[in-house]
Chains A and B, each alone.
Chain A
Amino acid sequence: MIALEGVSKRYGGQTVVDDVSLALGGEGVTALIGPNGAGKSTLFGLVGRLVRPDAGRVTVDGLDVATTPSQELARRVAVLRQDNHVAARLTVQDLVEFGRFPHSRGRLTVDDRDHVERAVAHLGLEGYRDRFLDELSGGQRQRASIAMVLAQDTRYVLLDEPLNNLDLRHMGETMRLVREMADVLGKRVVTVLHDVNSAAAYADRIVAMRDGRVVADAPARDVMRPEVLADVYDTTVDVREIDGRPVALYYG
């Protein structure tokens, strides 16, 4: 379980995460939604020990993030950041292999290689493994990054806007992959999504943030209501039922 207890983070005078207490990782897939600047990425940074809280405590399986060795945490939580551009000239294969670093420290075992192979296959990257990252399209690069955290093989996987740059087909495939990571591999995935319909279709639970606070936290269906979404995003959202699924309409 990932637990945040009274966690706050301030930048200058601005409180970007405001006294948040939250348990994540109980369900298979949790979607984190909220407007730009709500504090979603900062929350991930707090869990991924990239951001130090000004108040409160973050624990992973009871281990305090502030005091537990980084390598120990890296075997439990993988965080893919929103801005995951890699400037180094690495091949797809290299990047995915670095996902095994917390386990192997660079010396890959047969088991490590299996994880790498599976991750490459799951993201459909077999044809690209020897390509340098700077020779890929944005969506292919994004998939390579997801393959890396998949190879890391942690119980908790935090994905910050994994659908960035993906086309229609790969959006669907990535969300199905997220679902399978939870259902088949037993992982706990928390993912930031801007598309509430993807969140409703694939997540078990939706946590909504606004101005650094959690303003809604419920099973997906209960968050998909016009009044809840209007409150989160501060704009009118229509929700219709299509084939028994709630669909938010936010165009026009």
Chain B
Amino acid sequence: MTALSAPPASTPAPARPRRTGLGVLVGVLLVLLAGVSLFVGVSDVSPASVLGDGPAAFLLVASRIPRTVALVLAGASLGIAGLIMQMLVRNRFVEPSTTGVTEFATLGMLATIVLAPGMPVAGKTAVAALSGLLGTWVFLRVVRAVPVRSLVLVPLVGIVLGGVVGAVTTFVAYRLDLLQSLAQWSQGSFAGVVQGRYEFVWLAGVMVVVAWLAADRFSVIGLGEEFATNLGLHHRRVVAIGMVVVAVITASVLVTAGLVPFLGLVVPNVVSLVIGDNVRRSIPWVAVLGAVFVVACDVLARVLRFPYEIPLSVVVGIIGAALFLWLLLRRRSRAH
């Protein structure tokens, strides 16, 4: 330690793990994958064939571009929803689908179909987002009330909560003969994404920007309520912003494509290992890697049984579960 009276001679710009090379690599990978996503499918769309006015160009604009855009936005935003939840709860193993938020949003969507069948998609998204928000709130309340801080028990509480809400949803859907709609949402797929039917996923994109702007606040919240208060942050207000971000992302992806599991868990955890938890630094990584993950899985889903499509959630589930398991085992092998 040096004396306080002698200030350091110079203040060098802090060197820190920036990983520029890796970042460029991941960015290029995303561009490549997005390119592949544009030109993979049953109908022939090749870069050459879209020049001109033929059906290929129409297909590109009406279906392939919306699909790719939706994939990128959904992937990026789901990753960030997971990241924000993990900061709010201070637990690595939470994301919308392990905290009941997704189940609440699904119940909201079912409610619109039953009570207001003619409602436009905007209304459905809003109702889903509101009930997702309710879900986040209930989860945070339950976690606060139950004195468990254990890394694994907290998401377990969330999964039980989600299970209860999910059971209610299934029961209602069963009684009203709506199981088919339910199955459609619980199986995430971007096959139905076409121009005019995917635009709500842009809302998730807006939430990504909101999260980006509030990045430092979320980092400070991640230090805990005591640190955050000491640093002059209005804890509740930031938690409220985070809840809205999470709920809107969950709802708009749900309405567009259905459930995409694990992503919000796996991507932020991988980024945390390499980059750390300073949200300002990790948020671009989470966004880009989330997008890479979903686009890659979707391309796989389209080519594995060509010309048929496997549901995206199956591919995401298998790869995501494997990655998650690896993360868990890795964590255990470290001392704490």
Q: Contacts of A130 on B, CB cut-off 8 Å?
A: 14-17
Q: Contacts of A149 on B, CB cut-off 8 Å?
A: 230
Q: Contacts of B272 on A, CB cut-off 8 Å?
A: 89
| Residue B233 at the chain A interface, CB threshold 8 Å | yes
Knowing A129-B14, A130-B17, the reply to whether A98 touches B231 (Cβ < 8 A) is: yes
Q: Which of chain A's residues 121-162 have a Cβ closer than 8 Å to chain B?
A: 121-124, 129-130, 132, 134, 149, 152
How many Å lie between the Cα of A132 and that of B255 in the bound state? Answer: 39
| Residue B276 at the chain A interface, CB threshold 8 Å | yes
| Residue B1 at the chain A interface, CB threshold 8 Å | yes
Q: Which residue of A lies closest to B223 (CB)?
A: A86
| Residue B7 at the chain A interface, CB threshold 8 Å | yes
Are A93 and B232 neighbours in the complex by a CB distance under 8 Å? no
Q: Contacts of B15 on A, CB cut-off 8 Å?
A: 130
Determine which of B229, B273, B336 lies in contact with A48 in the assembled complex, contact meaning CB atoms within 8 Å: B229
Closest CB-CB distance, B152 to chain A, in whole Å? 14
- Tell me which of B26-34, B193-201, B214-222 binds A: B214-222
Determine which of B219, B229, B231 lies in contact with A50 in the assembled complex, contact meaning CB atoms within 8 Å: B229
Are B219 and A113 neighbours in the complex by a CB distance under 8 Å? no
A83-123 interface mask toward B, CB cutoff 8 Å, 1 = contact, 0 = none? 01011111101110011011001100010011001100111
| Residue A185 at the chain B interface, CB threshold 8 Å | yes
| Residue B8 at the chain A interface, CB threshold 8 Å | yes
- Tell me which of A56-64, A65-73, A240-248 binds B: A65-73
User: How many residues belonging to B are interface residues under a CB distance threshold of 8 Å?
Assistant: 38
Knowing A72-B232, A122-B1, the reply to whether A89 touches B11 (Cβ < 8 A) is: no
Q: Which of chain B's residues 220-254 have a Cβ closer than 8 Å to chain A?
A: 220, 222-227, 229-234
| Residue A180 at the chain B interface, CB threshold 8 Å | yes
How many Å lie between the Cα of A89 and that of B90 in the bound state? Answer: 11
Q: Contacts of B215 on A, CB cut-off 8 Å?
A: 106
Q: Which of chain A's residues 179-234 have a Cβ closer than 8 Å to chain B?
A: 180-181, 184-185
Are B234 and A117 neighbours in the complex by a CB distance under 8 Å? no
Report the interface size class on chain A: 35 or more
How many Å lie between the Cα of A69 and that of B4 in the bound state? Answer: 30
Are B224 and A102 neighbours in the complex by a CB distance under 8 Å? no
Q: Contacts of A33 on B, CB cut-off 8 Å?
A: none
| Residue B278 at the chain A interface, CB threshold 8 Å | yes
How many Å lie between the Cα of A122 and that of B222 in the bound state? Answer: 26
Are A102 and B227 neighbours in the complex by a CB distance under 8 Å? no
Closest CB-CB distance, B233 to chain A, in whole Å? 7
Q: Contacts of B225 on A, CB cut-off 8 Å?
A: 50
Knowing A90-B276, A98-B231, A102-B231, the reply to whether A180 touches B216 (Cβ < 8 A) is: no
B1-13 interface mask toward A, CB cutoff 8 Å, 1 = contact, 0 = none? 1111101100100
Determine which of B3, B7, B229, B276 lies in contact with A94 in the assembled complex, contact meaning CB atoms within 8 Å: B276
Are A177 and B1 neighbours in the complex by a CB distance under 8 Å? yes
Are B11 and A114 neighbours in the complex by a CB distance under 8 Å? yes
Are A101 and B8 neighbours in the complex by a CB distance under 8 Å? no
Q: Contacts of B234 on A, CB cut-off 8 Å?
A: 70
Q: Which residue of B lies closest to A170 (CB)?
A: B1
- Tell me which of A14-22, A23-31, A74-82 binds B: A74-82
Are A121 and B2 neighbours in the complex by a CB distance under 8 Å? yes
Knowing A88-B222, A113-B11, the reply to whether A180 touches B231 (Cβ < 8 A) is: no
Q: Contacts of A81 on B, CB cut-off 8 Å?
A: 226-227, 230
Q: Contacts of A181 on B, CB cut-off 8 Å?
A: 4
Are B232 and A73 neighbours in the complex by a CB distance under 8 Å? yes
Knowing A73-B232, A81-B226, the reply to whether A90 touches B3 (Cβ < 8 A) is: no
How many Å lie between the Cα of A89 and that of B16 in the bound state? Answer: 14
| Residue A10 at the chain B interface, CB threshold 8 Å | no
Are A49 and B229 neighbours in the complex by a CB distance under 8 Å? yes
| Residue A173 at the chain B interface, CB threshold 8 Å | yes
Are A105 and B4 neighbours in the complex by a CB distance under 8 Å? no
Q: Contacts of B233 on A, CB cut-off 8 Å?
A: 70-71, 101
Are B2 and A88 neighbours in the complex by a CB distance under 8 Å? no
Pick the 5 closest A-B CB pairs, nearest first: A74-B232, A106-B216, A71-B232, A88-B277, A102-B232
13 A-B pairs within 8 Å (CB atoms) are namely A49-B229, A71-B233, A81-B230, A84-B227, A86-B227, A87-B224, A98-B219, A117-B8, A122-B1, A130-B15, A177-B1, A177-B4, A180-B4
**Residues in chain B within 8 A of chain A (CB atoms):** 1-5, 7-8, 11, 14-17, 87, 90, 215-217, 219-220, 222-227, 229-234, 272-273, 276-278, 280, 336
Beyond A50-B225, A94-B278, A122-B2: 15 further Cβ-contacts under 8 Å? A48-B229, A50-B229, A71-B233, A79-B226, A81-B227, A86-B224, A87-B90, A89-B276, A102-B231, A105-B216, A106-B216, A106-B280, A129-B14, A130-B16, A152-B230
